[in-house]
Amino acid sequence: SISDPTEIQSFLDNFNSQAQAVFYKQSEVSWTYYTNITDYNQKLMLDEQLMSAKFSQEAYRNATRFNLTVMTQEDRRLFIKIMDIGTAAQTNETKLAYLNKVQSDMETIYSTAKVTMPSGQRLPLDPDLTQLMATSRNYDELLAAWLGWRAESGGKMKNLYAEYVEYNNEAVKILGHADTGAYWRSWYDTPTFEDDVRALFDQLRPLYEQLHAYARRKLKQIYGNDKFPSSGHIPAHLLGNMWAQQWSSLIDELTPYKGKPTLDVTDEMVRQNYTAIRIFQTADDFFKSLGMIPMPDTFWDKSLLEKPQDGREVVCHASAWDFYNGRDFRIKQCTVITAEDLETAHHEMGHIEYFLQYKDQPVSFRDGANPGFHEAVGDVISLSVQTPEHMHSIGLIPTVSNDTESDINFLMSMALQKIAFLPFGYLIDQWRWSVFRGETTPEKYNEEWWNLRCRYQGISSPVPLTSSDFDPGAKYHIPAGVPYIRYFVSFVIQFQFHKALCDEANYRGPLHRCDIYNSKPAGTLLSNMLKLGSSKPWPEAMNLLTRQRKMDAQPLMDYFKPLLEYLRQENGNDYGWHPICPTDPTEI
Ligand SMILES: O=C(CCC(O)(O)[C@H](Cc1ccccc1)NC(=O)c1ccccc1)N[C@@H](Cc1ccccc1)C(=O)O
Ligand SMILES: [Zn+2]
């Protein structure tokens, strides 16, 4: 095998320039499809996916001819990443084409699904059903939207999913992975990863149990006790979100101390005629205040920041795009003027900032230190933006009051966003890993999904389950094949990052009131970590930023400590739920 350093270097240089061209083409063709869903554009994208798979297979074959043992650590790391070609390892072109087609068809079903409401209106998820789930307080109206959505999305793709699982597993097994879940976990390069995330979740469950109990009591006052099963579960359609994954839309009902200025800035954004562009300029301004890299002109020219009104079908689920040429970076988001979309804009721009910071790395290192790092960047900034101090400084709330009661109100609003999410962020890939392992077979898909929803999230289906249902398919990441444990990891590490940056900014107060706006030292520290991309093992990136190498839930627990005490006092013994789903979901 080849050990000559000049041959090693010329292979890497060659790969890098060819890969940029191939990945650019693939991004362009995919962007065209995602922003204009037609059969023709899908065909162009699927053809291009086969071309780039051939390129990856060729690169893999060539890379295996080299002797990795004589290389520098960095070159060895590059070769290993070049050989990690995922499902492109499937050399049977018919099978690979079919896998890509099934995946794309499921994502298209999800993105074009519409629900016919009792009024006769046909509503898409974005923005209509999302807004209905957030604003309606009518049990039956919420139920109609929730039932309709799962029928039109997941209900239409159960058999497709079983095929996707089979073909995806077959492809990654060629690379030596046990199954697709094992392949996805390999990106964290941590043998104890599954145990580590389980330990983090167990550490955080008491916080969630207390928030769940508090929300359940308030929701019973709104909808009546008779709507809640005696098992202690909350019906899944009452939490202000299609998946009950974040409960921020319930902030007005769940605010502990009434009579204080509202923390929901949506009305004020609308009153000030905020536009999508202004939402993204607000986010861009924050990165600039830290001395970080501003969005380039191509971003503003080529992004799609609002749902087109010309009848085109688009994939509305937000995403950030790296075109791998060091110049072209875009966001696709069907932005609406709400506090939630202000947060999403920061989330997406966090991905772009990471792209910008690592754009001079070799292509194979243009990735997050691990997938959770990529999801955390924007959310860290958003933790500063959402403080009452910062919201006041950008004119979205009238006054800042930091008396104890206002503090609890603020922590409650952050908990509805961050604590409510934890079991959801945890359970999605618990389900998928069990499916990829073959422990959960197609006839058990839906039953096992609700077992996890009942056990970890303490929510239950408001209607009896039928075997034709496929509720996992009602959540974008399942048909789109996007892993999800990355968000659970992000929701833990983003508080570690926030604490480290607040320390760097010489902030002294309670963590939940820290706003790093304008801190160049914090910006420099964050930039230096982001510049690494995936060139170093993630514990080294973690160490550079936080001066220790582990995922640690303590900063998150410290942030919410005052709220946990309040909730414990409020709830007394009225908390928790039966781990098994209620037999009769509407049992009185
Ligand atoms: O799905 C997202 C945001 C979309 C995204 O930015 O994570 C996006 C997902 C995606 C879409 C298409 C293909 C692949 C992934 N991820 C990116 O755009 C992305 C991720 C890593 C690198 C580059 C781009 N958030 C999750 C969880 C979440 C996170 C933060 C706040 C609220 C909710 C959700 O909505 O359930
Ligand atoms: Zn993301």
Taking the CA of residue 348 as reference, the ligand 1 atom at the shortest distance is 6
439 is catalytic: no
ipTM, 2 decimals? 0.99
What is the enclosing helix (H) or strand (E) of 577?
none
Among 348, 353, 375, 504, the active-site one is 348
How large is the greatest C-alpha to C-alpha distance in the chain, in angstroms? 75
Residue from 45, 130, 319 whose mutation best tests the ligand 1 pocket (most atoms within 8 A of CB):
319
**DSSP secondary structure letters along 32-79:** HHHTS--HHHHHHHHHHHHHHHHHHHHHHHHHTTB-GGGS-HHHHHHH
Q: DSSP character for 175?
A: T
**For 179, what's the count of Cα atoms within 13 Å in the CB-facing half-sphere?**
12
Q: What would the two tokens of residue 38 be?
A: 């037609």
Q: Are 371 and 493 in contact (CB under 8 A)?
A: no
Distances (CA, A) of 549 to 350, 473, 493, 544, 552: 22, 36, 11, 9, 9
Among 340, 477, 570, 578, the active-site one is 477
pTM of the model: 0.98
Residue from 356, 487, 493 whose mutation best tests the ligand 1 pocket (most atoms within 8 A of CB):
487
Taking the CA of residue 320 as reference, the ligand 1 atom at the shortest distance is 18
Across 512-538, average pLDDT:
98
Q: How far is the CA of 376 from the centre of ligand 2 (A)?
A: 8
What count of other Cβ atoms lies within 10 Å of the Cβ of residue 251? 19
How sure is the predictor about 587, in pLDDT bands with cuts at 50, 70 and 90?
A: very low
How sure is the predictor about 261, in pLDDT bands with cuts at 50, 70 and 90?
A: confident
Residue 165: helix, strand or coil by DSSP?
helix
What count of other Cβ atoms lies within 10 Å of the Cβ of residue 282? 18
CA 310 – CA 258 distance, rounded (Å): 43
Distances (CA, A) of 437 to 13, 86, 102, 470: 38, 17, 20, 18
Q: How far is CA 489 from the centre of its chain?
A: 10
What would the pLDDT profile of 197-212 be if each residue is shown by its tens digit?
999 999 999 999 999 9
pLDDT surpassing 80 at residue 196: yes
In percent, the amount of the chain with pLDDT more than 90 equals 97
Cis ω on the peptide bond leading into residue 510 (within 30° of 0)? no
* Beta bridge pairs of residue 329: 322
* Amino acid in position 511: L
Across 155-160, average pLDDT:
96
Q: How far is the CA of 453 from the centre of ligand 1 (A)?
A: 21
Nearest CA to 425 out of 204, 211, 210, 112 is that of 204
Residue 558 burial (CB < 10 Å; 0-12/13-18/19+)? middle
Q: What would the two tokens of residue 26 be?
A: 């693939």
Taking the CA of residue 371 as reference, the ligand 1 atom at the shortest distance is 21
Q: Pocket residues for ligand 1 (CB within 6 Å)?
A: 318-320, 347-348, 351, 374-375, 379, 480, 482, 487
Across 19-33, average pLDDT:
98
pLDDT surpassing 50 at residue 550: yes
28 is catalytic: no
Residue from 37, 342, 482, 489 whose mutation best tests the ligand 1 pocket (most atoms within 8 A of CB):
482
* Amino acid in position 300: W
Q: How far is the CA of 376 from the centre of ligand 1 (A)?
A: 10
Distances (CA, A) of 565 to 218, 247, 388: 18, 20, 21
Residue 236: partners with Cβ closer than 8 Å, 6 or more residues away? 146, 244, 453, 459, 460, 461, 462
What would the pLDDT profile of 442-455 be if each residue is shown by its tens digit?
999 999 999 999 99
Taking the CA of residue 322 as reference, the ligand 1 atom at the shortest distance is 23
pLDDT surpassing 90 at residue 250: yes
CA 551 – CA 95 distance, rounded (Å): 39
